Amino acid sequence: MFSLDNYEKMDPFILLSAVNMQLRDNYPSLEDLCKSFDIDEEKLKTRLNNAGFTYDKAQNQFK
């Protein structure tokens, strides 16, 4: 089963790919993904923002 348990330590590009894949295939919003994996949404956003990516709500993906 897919897990984001170690998202705080994952390589940011692997994390980006994994999160965007989950958003594309399984979740209509970042909020739903975070609830499902019991992840703090702001921490996930900050982690990816620090790597240069921002969440595009309209397209439901980080860019």
| Per-residue pLDDT reduced to its tens digit, 6-48 | 999 999 999 999 999 999 999 999 999 999 999 999 999 999 9
Does any domain span residue 30?
Answer: yes
- Give the pLDDT score at 50: 98
Does any domain span residue 4?
Answer: no
- Give the pLDDT score at 44: 98
1 pLDDT more than 90: no
- Give the pLDDT score at 2: 73
Distance, CA of 6 to chain centre: 12
Does any domain span residue 51?
Answer: yes
Does any domain span residue 11?
Answer: no
Does any domain span residue 33?
Answer: yes
pLDDT-based confidence at 53, cuts 50/70/90?
very high
Residues 11 and 35: their CA atoms lie apart, in Å, by 22
In this structure, are residues 14 and 3 in contact, taking their beta carbons and an 8 Å threshold?
Answer: no
Does any domain span residue 52?
Answer: yes
Range of the domain at 57: 19-62
Pick from 35, 34, 10, 33: which is nearest to 22 by CA? 33
Does any domain span residue 39?
Answer: yes
Count of structural domains within the chain: 1
